[in-house]
Amino acid sequence: MAIYIFKRILLMIPTLILVSMIAFAIIQAPPGDFLTTLMSGEAGETVDVVQIEAMRARYGLDQPIWVQYWKWISGIVFHGDFGESFEWKRPVNELIWDRFGLTVLISSITLVFIWVVSIPIGIYSATNKYSAGDYVFTVFGFIGLAIPNFLLALVLMYISFQYFGQSVGGLFSPAFVQAPWSFARVGDLLAHLWLPVIIIGTAGTASLIRIMRANLLDELPKPYVEAARARGLSEFRIRVKYPVRIALNPLVSALAWVFPALVSGDAITSIVLNLQTTGPLLYRALQSQDMYLAGSLILILSVLTVIGTLLSDLLLAWLDPRLRAEV
């Protein structure tokens, strides 16, 4: 097992290097750059040509792409410097960390919400196949998959404001947006947090219910379940110890996408709800070709994806004895 872990970690190094190159190349693929947008006046600023050329030389935009890439990646690796955002005129590190905490908070609570709701319902639907409850959960599951999150956000925002009189734009009431942290500000955050958690978690919950139900239905008829039942084990222990544990494998394998989701969140829903998370920040950076900010966020998402893949593989090897034997 230790050798397997070492090999996987060693393999991560060239993977991350390749991913960083691809990410930087994608950022550079569209014609022009942020300074071109600035010259055209689309950025809302007026800058003379001399200043543009000075900025181009400062950021190395007048050099080949591989020189720009090395300047960017060497700053990250050797100095922890992700560069400076052209549009915000602030270090990328500060911009990301300003929104990182709230993004992780929302995504973590949403993830817990999805798993706590979907796994028990999926188990119930599989063990009570074609019952009234199974049909009800199936209908709600299909509705959750069919309705886009941003549309659900608009509906719940209207209901929340119209019938409960709550300001639902953003994560704080206007009085607490710039206020220092206090118990009152935390309470205000919690009062606003339920809406994005439910909206972002709806589609994921509906999807995992269907996955859990289908996986468990595949496992319940297998011979090892009948053998455990013949030994006199209780139905609860039979289901939890054997088929449910194996049915969780696809959910654990999805961990590779959970880590980047903790940072990116649901960008469109975040824009609709005016959430101060990294999703809208990345969207805006891609629009304006703010290469250091966009490239850094994409690199972070890629690193988290690779780490999530490694952790999901290790958890699968621990969860399923058959995979552990192969390792």
DSSP per residue over 68-123, as a string? HHHHHHHHHHHH----B-TTT-SBHHHHHHHHHHHHHHHHHHHHHHHHHHHHHHHH
More confident residue, 272 or 121: 121
Question: Which of 2-16, 26-40, 180-194, 305-319: highest mean pLDDT?
Answer: 180-194
Read off the tokens for 146.
């069919």
Stated pTM of the model: 0.77
Domains of the chain: 32-81 (no CATH), 92-326 (1.10.3720.10)
Neighbours of 300 (CB within 10 A): 20
Question: Which of 134-148, 247-261, 311-325: highest mean pLDDT?
Answer: 134-148
Least confident of 12-21, 106-115, 198-207, 301-310: 301-310
**What is the average pLDDT across 186-205?**
83
Question: Which of 116-120, 176-180, 232-236, 246-250: highest mean pLDDT?
Answer: 116-120
Instruction: Reply yes or no on whether the pLDDT at 132 is more than 60.
Output: yes
Q: What mean pLDDT, rounded, does the chain reach?
A: 79
Question: What band does 121 get if pLDDT is binned at 50, 70 and 90?
Answer: very high
% of the chain surpassing 70 pLDDT: 83
Closest CA to 239 of 127, 116, 121, 118: 127
Question: What band does 46 get if pLDDT is binned at 50, 70 and 90?
Answer: low
Identify the pLDDT of residue 259.
63
Identify the pLDDT of residue 320.
63
Instruction: Reply yes or no on whether the pLDDT at 89 is more than 70.
Output: yes
91 strand-pairing partners: 84
Instruction: Reply yes or no on whether the pLDDT at 10 is more than 80.
Output: yes
Instruction: Reply yes or no on whether the pLDDT at 43 is more than 70.
Output: no
Q: What CA–CA distances, in Å, run from 292 to 83, 109, 127, 209, 303?
A: 6, 29, 51, 39, 16
Instruction: Reply yes or no on whether the pLDDT at 44 is more than 60.
Output: no
